[in-house]
């Protein structure tokens, strides 16, 4: 494992652990008494541990991208994003900060009019409300994706559940 990747993972795990501790420590509402209400509350609560093979998987409407959702809490979102060779992400803005760590693939990312070449080992910070677009290269892109808040990740709810 490269030192840069280890630092990013340590940062993400530290941030996720802090959010989980805060979330668990602040729970003051008792669970509902009846079984149906308990199941409903459990289904809507964030999962505290998700194994790689158990991540929620969604496919883009055009079929050229997938997201594997590992954590969706109140203050952050963590996923693995995969984009087919030659795929693109159209110009858009997200309400919160977004971070990417590129594991595989390469391409051209534009943030607020400035172009950046990204490749494995690149760490990307996109400020809240930045105007962003991406053109993937000739290989599948795989990236760790983090939103500082779950709102922008709601776009994945429109993607088709897969696998």
Domain boundaries, the chain: 3-161
Q: What is the mean pLDDT of residues 8-25?
A: 41
Other residues' Cβ atoms within 10 Å of the Cβ of residue 114: 8
pLDDT at res. 7: 46
pTM: 0.67
Q: What is the mean pLDDT of residues 50-70?
A: 88
**How many percent of the chain have pLDDT more than 90?**
44
pLDDT at res. 96: 87
Closest of 112, 110, 68 to residue 89, by C-alpha = 110
pLDDT at res. 13: 43
Region of 86 please: left (phi>0), alpha (psi -120 to 50) or beta: left
Could you give the CA distance from residue 112 to residue 129 in angstroms, rounded to a whole number? 9
* Range of weakest confidence among 28-32, 37-41, 62-66: 28-32
Q: Are strands 77-83 and 141-147 parallel, antiparallel or unpaired?
A: antiparallel
Predicted confidence (pLDDT) per residue in 117-137, tens digit: 999 999 999 999 999 999 999
- CATH number attached to the domain at 3-161: 2.60.120.10
């Amino acid at each position: 494992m490269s030192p840069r990747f280890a630092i990013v993972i340590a940062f993400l795990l530290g941030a996720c652990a802090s959010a989980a501790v805060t979330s668990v420590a602040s729970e003051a509402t008792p669970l509902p008494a009846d079984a149906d209400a308990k199941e409903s509350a459990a289904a809507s609560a964030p999962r505290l541990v998700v194994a790689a093979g158990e991540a929620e998987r969604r496919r883009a409407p055009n079929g050229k991208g997938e997201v594997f959702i590992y954590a969706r809490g109140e203050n952050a979102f963590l996923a693995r994003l995969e984009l087919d060779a030659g795929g693109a992400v159209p110009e858009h803005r997200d309400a919160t900060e977004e971070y990417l760590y590129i594991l595989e693939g390469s391409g051209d990312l534009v943030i607020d009019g400035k172009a950046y070449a990204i490749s494995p080992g690149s760490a990307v910070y996109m400020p809240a409300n930045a105007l962003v677009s991406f053109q993937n290269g000739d290989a599948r892109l795989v990236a760790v994706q983090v939103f500082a808040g779950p709102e922008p990740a709601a776009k994945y709810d429109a993607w088709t559940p897969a696998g």
